[in-house]
Structure 1
Amino acid sequence: MESSNLLIMTNVAVIVSAICFGLICAALVGIRSSQVALTDRIEKLTSHK
C-alpha cells in the first residue's frame, strides 16, 4: 500500500511541476511576444511622424 501511495504522490508531484513549468513558459513567451508587438507599434507610430 505504501509503495503505491508513494508512486501516486510522485506522479502527482511530477504532473503539478510539469503544469507549473508549462504555465511559466507560456507566460514568458506571452510577455516576450507582447513586448515585441508593443515595440513594433511604437516604431510604426514614430516612423509615421
Structure 2
Amino acid sequence: MELVGICSVCGKAGKMHSCPLCGSIVCKSCYDVSKGICKRCARNPGKMIK
C-alpha cells in the first residue's frame, strides 16, 4: 500500500513511508531505508517519539 501525504519531519508532500517505531509518516529523504525507520528514530535509538 502506498501512502501519500505530508512529511511529519520536513513538511514535503508526496509519497510517504510509515515508521514502525514512532508511527510518523515521513518522505523518502526523512526515512532510513536500510534501518526501516524514520531518521528521527535512527538518531535516537531506544527512544520512541510518539
Fold match (TM-score > 0.5): no
**Structure with greater strand share of residues:** 2
**Structure with greater helix share of residues:** 1
Band the TM-score falls in, shorter-chain normalisation:
under 0.3
Report the TM-score, using the length of structure 1 for normalisation: 0.22
Structure exhibiting the larger radius of gyration computed from Cα positions: 1
Kindly indicate whether structure 1 or structure 2 has the higher relative contact order, using CA contacts under 8 Å at least 6 residues apart. Answer: 2
